[in-house]
A = this chain, B = another copy of it.
Amino acid sequence: MNFPSKLIEEAVQEISRLPGIGKKTALRLALHLLKQPEMVTESLTQAMTKLRTETRFCKLCHNISDDDICPICKGVHRDKGLICVVEDIPDVLAIENTSQYNGLYHVLGGVISPIQGVGPEELKIDSLLQRIDQPSTEGQVQEVILALPSTMEGDTTSFFISRKLKERGIKVSTIARGIPIGGELEYTDEVTLGRSILTRVNYSTD
């Protein structure tokens, strides 16, 4: 694509580096900014710069935080004996939005992937074990829930962590996999359907 101006070419170049944004979308966004008052671009760039330079991560669970310890880890009503291990920050948001979970989190920052050169050392696994080995004044961790993706990498990571935790006598559980609520058997993939039969649970009317 030929651009009539170097400025717009550079802006399109930079914007299209964002994931999922191609050259055409980048051009549309750049032209949108040009049509808006200068204030719009200013507050957008300021918010992004502040985000990048000032964001901190919770020292305990590695979630995004404004302080050293995030509001969830500081939460008075949170169950400090329960830790849910997730791959990344959006997973924390997703679980929090269900309002069904009242424990703490631990953000690994990825999953073990030999192909991409991600080993256990690159993840926050040591820091998870530390939280268990050096309990705070608020008590010992009783259970760890593994909520990692059900991919080869996620399963490997779950297996690795579960071994370390079982050595320490900690109860390890994993989130239930099965047919989504409202999902139809006919359109469910074979692997999920097969596993949902093997891992069937007692029927309860509660």
> Could you mark each residue 37-77 of chain A with 1 if its beta carbon is under 8 Å from any beta carbon of chain B, else 0?
01011111101111111110000000111100011100000
Given A29-B18, A43-B14, A93-B1; A51-B88 close (CB under 8 Å): no
A87 to chain B, nearest CB (A): 12
The one of B7, B29, B55, B63 in contact with A7, judged by C-beta atoms closer than 8 angstroms, is B55
Across-interface contacts of A11 in B (CB, < 8 A): 47-48, 50-51
Q: Complex formed: what's the CA distance from A191 to B83 in Å?
A: 62
Q: Which chain B positions have C-beta within 8 A of A33? A: 18, 48, 51-52
A19-27, A112-120, A133-141, A197-205: which lies at the interface: A19-27
Q: Write out the residue numbers on chain B whose beta carbons fall within 8 Å of the beta carbon of A20.
A: 25, 28
The reply to whether B28 and A90 form a contact with Cβ atoms under 8 Å apart is: yes
Q: Which of B4, B47, B88 contacts A65 (CB 8 A)?
A: B4
The DSSP consensus for interface residues of chain A is: helix
**Does A13 count as interface, using CB distance less than 8 angstroms?**
yes
Q: What is the size, in residues, of chain A's interface with B at 8 Å between Cβ atoms? A: 57
A193 on interface, CB distance cutoff 8 Å: no
Q: Is A32 an interface residue (CB 8 A)?
A: yes
Q: Is A89 an interface residue (CB 8 A)?
A: yes
Does residue A15 face the partner (Cβ distance < 8 Å to B)?
A: yes
- The residues of B that contact A123 with a CB separation of less than 8 Å are none
> A148 contacts the other chain (Cβ, under 8 Å)?
no
Cα distance, A92 to B4, chains bound together (Å): 9
A122 interface hit (Cβ, 8 Å): no
CB<8 Å pairs between A and B, sample of 7: A2-B96, A4-B63, A19-B29, A31-B89, A33-B48, A33-B51, A38-B53
5 smallest A-B Cβ distances: which pairs?
Answer: A45-B45, A41-B52, A11-B51, A14-B47, A5-B64
- Residues of A that sit less than 8 Å from B by CB: 1-8, 10-11, 13-15, 17-21, 25, 27-34, 38, 40-45, 47-55, 63-66, 70-72, 88-90, 92-93, 96-97
